[in-house]
Amino acid sequence: MRILLVEDEAKIAAFIKRALTEKRYKVDLASDGNQALIQAEIQPYDLIILDIVLPGRSGFNLCEQLRKKKISTPILLLSVKDSLHDKVKGLNLGADDYLTKPFEVEELLARVRALLRRGRNDKLPILKVADLCLNQVTQKVTRAGKPIKLTAREYALLRYLLIHAGEIVTRTMITEHVWGEDSAAFTNVIDVYINYIRKKIDRDFKHPLIHTIRFTGYILKEPDSA
Ligand code: CA
Q: Provide mean pLDDT across the span 8-33.
A: 95
Residue 85: strand, helix, or coil? helix
Output the average pLDDT for the chain. Answer: 89
Q: Is 123 helix (H, G, I), strand (E, B) or coil?
A: coil
* CATH number of the domain located at residue range(s) 2-122 in this protein: 3.40.50.2300
Strand blocks (E) in the chain = 2-6, 26-30, 47-51, 75-79, 97-100, 126-129, 132-135, 141-143, 146-148, 169-170, 210-213, 217-220
- Each domain of the chain, given as residue ranges in start order, spans 2-122, 126-225
User: Comparing 135-144, 177-186, 206-215, which segment has the lowest mean pLDDT?
Assistant: 177-186
CA of 82 to the centre of ligand 1 (A): 14
As a whole number, mean pLDDT of residues 148-170 equals 93
- The pLDDT score that the predictor gives to residue 50 is 96
pLDDT in tens, 63-111: 999 999 888 889 999 987 667 788 888 888 889 999 988 899 999 999 9
What CATH number belongs to 126-225? 1.10.10.10
Query: How far is the centre of ligand 1, averaged over its atoms, from the C-alpha of 11 (Å)?
Result: 11
Q: How far apart are CA 149 and CA 126, in angstroms?
A: 17
C-alpha 32 to ligand 1 mean position (Å)? 9
